[in-house]
Amino acid sequence: MKILIIEDNAELVYDLVQFLASYGYICQAAKTFAIAKEKIELYNYDLFVIDIGLPDGNGLELINSIKKIEYNSGIIIVTAKNAIEDKVRGLDLGADDYLTKPFHKEELNARIRSILRRNKFERNNEVFFNEMKIDLLAAQVFVNDKETVLTKKEYDLLLYFIDNKNRVITKESIAEHLWGDHIDQTDNFDFIYNHIKNLRKKIISNGGKDYIQSMYGMGYKFTE
Amino acid sequence: MKQRRQIKLLTKTTSIYLVFTFAAFFFSALFLINETDEYINSELDRRYQWTEGKIISDIKKYGEVRKKRSYAIVSNIEKMPKHSTFPIYKDSLIQNEERESKLLYRKKTTFIDVDGRFFKVEMIQNISDFNRLQSDILGSLIPAFIILAIVIVLFNYFLSGYFFNPFNKILNQIKNYEVGKGSSVPNILTSTAEFSKMQQLFCNMVERTEREYTTLKEYTENMAHEIQTPLTIIRNKTDNLISNETVMNTQSSSVKIIYDEVNHLSKLGTALNLLTKIEHGEFSNKTVLHTKELIIKHVDSVTELAGLKGLKFELNLSNSHSINIDPILFDIILKNLVKNGLNYATNEGSIKIATDDKSLTISNYGSPLEFPNEKIFSRFSKENGSSSSVGLGLALVNKICQRNNLRIDYLYQDQQHYFIISKNPQ
């Protein structure tokens, strides 16, 4: 799976490349509009992560070039500006998703997974994890082939954990993933504990293992 | 600020001018009347002396007054009266047969001594004409003053608009000037030195304000925007540390603090940027919003969050409540007031949102503030226990209300915090 990260800040690029590589992606980076354009034309990628604010051009303009060459590639746009117009324009041009800086890397990973699953070449509607199976189309979870009824939030949480397994995910990251913009509405993320507790209980009650570990009071880790 | 009664400048100068003109006319009239009096007296004296002289010369020549005069009566007396009040002057109306009307005459009664003989002489002189001179003076001065006053008042009324037109235009420019909306002020042609000077000063002030505004705006925007990339890097690096067990086993508390503070800083940047944008009036797409649907929608989206904290909402919404505001700003108001409720409410009762024709009230149970009520809308005034809160939410709400002709009130009553937003009386 090849990903091109178009971002001008070297440190951010380094972090993202390292992070995504740890999940088995092949990552390349382009730090300017010109380099990005060249790479888009020369190589094939499954997904593009584009920072809109490039020093030598507007990242939105790259979307058209990508769509001409690789129509099925996924595109996630990233911007430091919390500007709704950019978001709307990017999605209109054909971007699949949108992230605002600063974002959690796990969130980026989850979005990438989601796009790749939707991608017509993969079109993988089932996610497996040991004794668990998630049917993405029906939004159903099976533990040891027994259907486990989860709430919408618990379902999202489980998928987020599986997408980011073996990694400490902070409470902030979970809260933002589950509640999106509405997470602004609270300054205290302790309530996440309730969701975790319920999810854990439901998996265990169907004979599943307890995969969720609390880490240093900062977050949780989903380990095999 | 103590204010004195406001009077228009031109009305003021005109009134003072009229008072001085009246005084000038009054003293001129006094002077002229005095002058005419003196003239009349000296003229009459001259005539009386002439008559007296004639009488004396008649008596000296002929021993008596030969010619009977209608204006002088001479009678013999034994001795001179000792009265020092003589001669006596007396004005009276006497019927004039020729003119068939009563005329004003002045009678002079005096005593003369001609070669040891004493005579009482009563002379009369017609002073009607002289008197007419006096009334003619007043009769010309008073209308002149009245005409002048009317002309001045009319001038004030009709021409003040013309003369003060440039002044009013400059005032309008000052009134309508909004910082950050175009830096040049159109020049207003005027030949009045004071107005021209005022305009020049205003232009200089605008230039200075705009310059400072731009600098400040750039600074805050840069701070808010550019700070996000380094913050993202710090957060990512901290994320890496969090995933590193060796580090976390020894430094988890420090890493946690760094992580929390970076998140705090990031939120702070976003909130300050928003506050600055609102202060600069960037959200000006005003529309009449019917709030009921919007409130229900927002409450729906946070009911679950509230539920996790054991809190409930109680809505009592009116169909007719509306606010004229940019939808983004109303969203910020609603979000922040509800957030405030969610953060500080205790479980004694619901978070209530009520609207009627005129106002929107959000209330929740909670302990009293730890700081004075009037500081609740100040930036960064927050309860000690809530260090994770940025402390700008209510300041944002307050700023939006100020800029949108809304009034926000806070009160604490029956263990409940009330925030009431109402339309400012126009």
Domains of chain A: total: 2
If asked whether residues B266 and B365 sit together in one domain, one would say: no
Residue B6, phi then psi, degrees to nearest 5: -90, 125
The CA distance from B244 to B219, in Å, is 37
The residue that leads in pLDDT, B56 or A30, is: A30
Is residue A35 over pLDDT 60?
Answer: yes
**pLDDT for the residue A50:** 92
User: Residues, chain A, total?
Assistant: 224
Q: Is the dihedral of CA B266, B267, B268, B271 positive or negative?
A: positive
Nearest to A185 among B232, B259, B305 (CB): B305
Residue B168 lies in a domain: no
Looking at A78, A94, A120, the residue that finishes a domain is A120
Do residues B235 and B260 make contact, with C-beta atoms less than 8 angstroms apart?
Answer: no
Looking at A54, A86, A120, the residue that finishes a domain is A120
pLDDT, average across residues B54-66 = 78
pLDDT, average across residues B344-351 = 83
CATH of residue B314's domain is 3.30.565.10
Indicate if ipTM > 0.85. Answer: no
Interval B139-170: pLDDT, tens: 888 888 899 889 988 888 887 788 888 888 88
**pLDDT for the residue B67:** 65
User: B69: Cβ–Cβ under 8 A, 6 or more apart, which residues?
Assistant: B51
If asked whether residues B302 and B264 sit together in one domain, one would say: no
The CA distance from B243 to A168, in Å, is 5
If asked whether residues B272 and B303 sit together in one domain, one would say: no
DSSP string of A62-101, one letter each residue? HHHHHHHH-TT-EEEEEESS--HHHHHHHHHHT-SEEEES
Do residues B305 and A182 make contact, with C-beta atoms less than 8 angstroms apart?
Answer: yes
If asked whether residues A109 and A150 sit together in one domain, one would say: no
Show residues of chain A in contact with B231, CB under 8 Å. 102
* B389/A217 Cβ within 8 A: no
DSSP state of B86: P
If asked whether residues B269 and B303 sit together in one domain, one would say: no
Between helix A105-118 and helix A152-163 the angle, nearest 10°, is: 100
If asked whether residues B242 and B224 sit together in one domain, one would say: yes
Looking at B255, B279, B303, the residue that finishes a domain is B279
- State the amino acid at position B137 in one-letter form: I
Q: Give B78's pLDDT tier (boundaries 50, 70, 90).
A: confident
* B256/A217 Cβ within 8 A: yes
If asked whether residues B274 and B297 sit together in one domain, one would say: no
Average pLDDT, chain B: 83
Residue B386 lies in a domain: yes
Interval B173-223: pLDDT, tens: 888 887 776 656 778 888 888 888 988 998 898 889 888 888 887 887 777
Domains of chain B: total: 3
If asked whether residues B207 and B317 sit together in one domain, one would say: no
If asked whether residues A200 and A95 sit together in one domain, one would say: no
If asked whether residues B136 and B234 sit together in one domain, one would say: no
B372 cis-preceded (ω within 30 degrees of 0): no
If asked whether residues A20 and A93 sit together in one domain, one would say: yes
Do residues A100 and A125 make contact, with C-beta atoms less than 8 angstroms apart?
Answer: no
Nearest to A80 among B228, B242, B335 (CB): B228
Report the chain B residue with the minimal C-alpha distance to residue A11. Answer: B233
Is residue A83 over pLDDT 70?
Answer: no
Beta strands in B327-415 (DSSP E): 351-355, 359-365, 406-413
Residue B220 lies in a domain: yes
CA B222 to mean position of chain CA atoms: 41
CATH of residue A172's domain is 1.10.10.10
Is residue A76 over pLDDT 90?
Answer: yes
Average pLDDT, chain A: 86
Q: Give the H or E element holding residue B290.
A: strand B287-290
**pLDDT for the residue B227:** 79
Residue B87 lies in a domain: yes
A10 in contact with B, Cβ within 8 Å: no
The residue that leads in pLDDT, A97 or B348, is: A97
Looking at B128, B160, B192, the residue that finishes a domain is B160
Domain that holds residue A191: 126-222
Q: pTM of this prediction? A: 0.63
Show residues of chain B in contact with A186, CB under 8 Å. 305, 309, 339, 342-343
If asked whether residues A43 and A103 sit together in one domain, one would say: yes
Show residues of chain B in contact with A103, CB under 8 Å. 232
* A191/B305 Cβ within 8 A: yes
Beta strands in B20-162 (DSSP E): 72-77, 88-96, 101-114, 117-126
If asked whether residues B362 and B392 sit together in one domain, one would say: yes
If asked whether residues A99 and A204 sit together in one domain, one would say: no
Do residues A168 and A215 make contact, with C-beta atoms less than 8 angstroms apart?
Answer: yes
pLDDT, average across residues B342-359 = 86
Show residues of chain B in contact with A7, CB under 8 Å. none
**pLDDT for the residue B252:** 87
If asked whether residues A134 and A196 sit together in one domain, one would say: yes
Residue B165 lies in a domain: no
Residue B193 lies in a domain: no
Nearest to A9 among B229, B308, B390 (CB): B229
The CA distance from B25 to B240, in Å, is 97
Show residues of chain B in contact with A184, CB under 8 Å. 335, 339
Q: Give A187's pLDDT tier (boundaries 50, 70, 90).
A: low
Domain that holds residue B234: 202-279
CATH of residue B22's domain is 3.30.450
Do residues B309 and A189 make contact, with C-beta atoms less than 8 angstroms apart?
Answer: no
Task: Measure Cα distances from A40 to A15, A111, A116, A121 in Å.
Answer: 22, 21, 18, 19
Looking at A95, A120, A145, the residue that finishes a domain is A120
User: How far off is chain B from A183, nearest CA to CA, in Å?
Assistant: 9
If asked whether residues B67 and B96 sit together in one domain, one would say: yes
If asked whether residues B269 and B297 sit together in one domain, one would say: no
If asked whether residues A27 and A54 sit together in one domain, one would say: yes
* A216/B388 Cβ within 8 A: no
**pLDDT for the residue B69:** 65
Show residues of chain B in contact with A15, CB under 8 Å. 233, 236-237, 240
- Strand A212-215 to strand A168-170: parallel, antiparallel, or no bridges (unpaired)? unpaired
Numbered residues of chain B with Cβ closer than 8 Å to any chain A Cβ: 225-226, 228-229, 231-233, 235-237, 239-240, 242-243, 248, 252, 255-256, 259, 263, 266, 270, 301-302, 304-305, 308-309, 335, 338-339, 342-343, 386, 388-390
If asked whether residues A216 and A150 sit together in one domain, one would say: yes
If asked whether residues B72 and B100 sit together in one domain, one would say: yes
CA B131 to mean position of chain CA atoms: 52
Residue B352 lies in a domain: yes
